[in-house]
Amino acid sequence: MKYPRLPQAESREWAASWQIPLVGLIGMAMSGTPYIMLGTLMTAIAEDTGWTRLQISSGTGIMSAIIVLLAPIMGMAIDRFGSRRIGLPGLAMFCLALASLALAGPSQQAWWAGWSFVAIAALFIKSTVWTAAIVTRFSDSRGLAIAVALTGSGVATFSLPLILTLLQQSFGWRGAVVGLAALYALLSLPLAWRYFYDAADQRRREKLDTAPIGRSTLPGLSPREIFRSRKFFQIGLSGLLAGIGVTALTVHFIPLLKDSGFAPLTAATIASGIGLATIFGRLTTGLLLDRFKASTIGFVTFSLPVLACMLLLLAPSIPMAFVVAVLIGFAAGAEFDVLAYLAARQFGVRHYGLVFGTVVGLLSFGAGLGPMLGAHLFDLYGSYRTMLLTVAGTFSLSAILIGTLGPYPVHRTPARDLETRPA
């Protein structure tokens, strides 16, 4: 199928707004930092504080609880105030919160307080902030723009372990945390201050419209219509199930390979392929979303981990394990792309922050459950076989829920009764 006008339209959008996905990429890298940082520095933290690994990991439980409770509220705030007024102070707050973890100890209460600060700050820089700005600035190339921004988490997964290890070796784990926070501040704040404007902010900045742009003039459904919709239930439940499956597989991937007879260094090398495949999956999915039906792409990509689980149930060889890592990483990369894109296409942009914020909250809750589910099933049965069968089931159901969404609706603006521009 040919798209004679699409490349030109895409080029115009990127020429005018390429800075938005770039700032989003940095913001997404920052938002995924706490989990990567914890895994990289856990041994050093334990040696310095004397805490157990469970005590150190308790911070992620605090994050999951706070995010699932407050993500919808943050989504409404984005709809009300715009992405810039949330994201810009959020970047500064997150840098301060991250650095504050260096002050923890010997009291674990200080550690929990620091993680609570990190969790609240992370709400201001979650994917909803960046994608909400993108959907107002990009239409023809929306899928690719979302993908570029969300690639930040894959970039962080690939690069942060090395950066943090080098900093820790030179300055200790506390110096590593402070150093990373300072690096983020230098990278993110000048760019966001100069370039990060959603469509409404851009109009006010260029003095094209001095009056506030009301949500009622934007295309999309009302909150009542959204939350009573079968499609919202399908997207939300699909995100929850995919979040459980992705983190269960990624967190337990190295232990599973070790149990299968792989040497620790070999298992870690294979697992690094997940990060690279995540980046590739995000960008590839973004390109496909601008050209094919999102529900079909979601069905295919959410089904890939089912094949990965089936392969892991066999006696995996090194080449097979690399294939599994690529399947898991590609699906993890496609996950956010598909859900972010569908939130705009199925419900419009009028309450996009509320919709996708709620979906992100459900996905984050699932991401918090996944590692615990895998660990519980391993402790119960003494192997990962039951976990793999369970995760295959969650991904199968997630793929079916996305694949049966049906066609995109046509949204009209209540004030003007105009059809939305094709997106």
Q: If DSSP codes are grouped into helix, strand and coil, which group holds residue 412? A: strand
ω before 106 within 30° of 0 (cis)?
Answer: yes
Residue 369 CA to its chain's centroid (Å): 16
Each domain of the chain, given as residue ranges in start order, spans 18-213, 219-411
DSSP 421: P
* CA atoms of 346 and 226, how far apart (whole Å): 9
Q: How many CB atoms lie within 10 A of CB 98?
A: 25
Percentages of the chain per state (helix, strand, coil), in multiples of 5: 80, 0, 20
* CA atoms of 195 and 183, how far apart (whole Å): 19
**Contact, 342 vs 302, CB < 8 A?**
no
Indicate the length of the chain as a whole number: 423
Answer yes or no: same fold for 18-213 and 219-411: yes
* CA atoms of 237 and 230, how far apart (whole Å): 11
DSSP 198-235: -HHHHHHHTTS--S---GGGS-B--HHHHHT-HHHHHH
DSSP 419: B
Helices and strands (H and E) in the chain: how many: 16, 0
Q: Which fold has domain 219-411?
A: Growth Hormone; Chain: A; (1.20.1250)
DSSP 308-357: HHHHHHS---HHHHHHHHHHHHHHHHHHHHHHHHHHHHHHBSTTHHHHHH
423: which 2 tokens?
Answer: 């997106």
* CA atoms of 31 and 188, how far apart (whole Å): 12
* CA atoms of 330 and 151, how far apart (whole Å): 11
What residues pair up with 348 in beta bridges, in sequence order?
220
* CA atoms of 146 and 168, how far apart (whole Å): 33
* CA atoms of 68 and 64, how far apart (whole Å): 6
Nearest 5 degrees, angle CA 63-CA 130-CA 101? Answer: 35
User: Which architecture characterizes domain 18-213 according to CATH?
Assistant: Up-down Bundle (1.20)
pLDDT at position 121, please? 93
217: which 2 tokens?
Answer: 């003039």
* CA atoms of 265 and 252, how far apart (whole Å): 15
* CA atoms of 421 and 331, how far apart (whole Å): 29
pLDDT tens string, the chain, 423 residues long: the values are 344 444 677 788 888 788 899 999 999 999 888 877 876 777 788 888 888 766 777 777 788 788 878 888 888 888 888 889 999 999 999 999 999 999 887 788 888 899 899 989 998 998 888 888 888 888 778 888 888 888 888 788 778 877 888 888 889 999 999 999 999 999 999 999 998 987 776 666 665 544 444 555 566 677 788 888 899 999 999 999 998 998 888 878 877 888 888 887 777 778 778 878 888 888 888 888 888 888 999 999 999 999 999 999 987 788 999 999 999 989 988 887 899 888 888 887 778 888 888 888 888 888 777 877 887 888 788 888 999 999 999 999 999 999 999 887 776 655 444 344 433
pLDDT at position 297, please? 93
97: which 2 tokens?
Answer: 């919160």
Q: How many CB atoms lie within 10 A of CB 86?
A: 24
DSSP 44-109: HHHHHH---HHHHHHHHHHHHHHHHHHHHHHHHHHHHH-HHHHHHHHHHHHHHHHHHGGG--S-HH
Rounded-to-10 torsion of CA 155, 75, 13, 287: 50
* CA atoms of 296 and 292, how far apart (whole Å): 8
Task: Name the nearest CA neighbour of 30 among 111, 121, 115.
Answer: 121
Q: What are phi and psi of 298, to 5 degrees?
A: -60, -40
Residue written as token pair 């920052």: 30
DSSP 157-172: HHHHHHHHHHHHHHHH
Q: If DSSP codes are grouped into helix, strand and coil, which group holds residue 142? A: helix
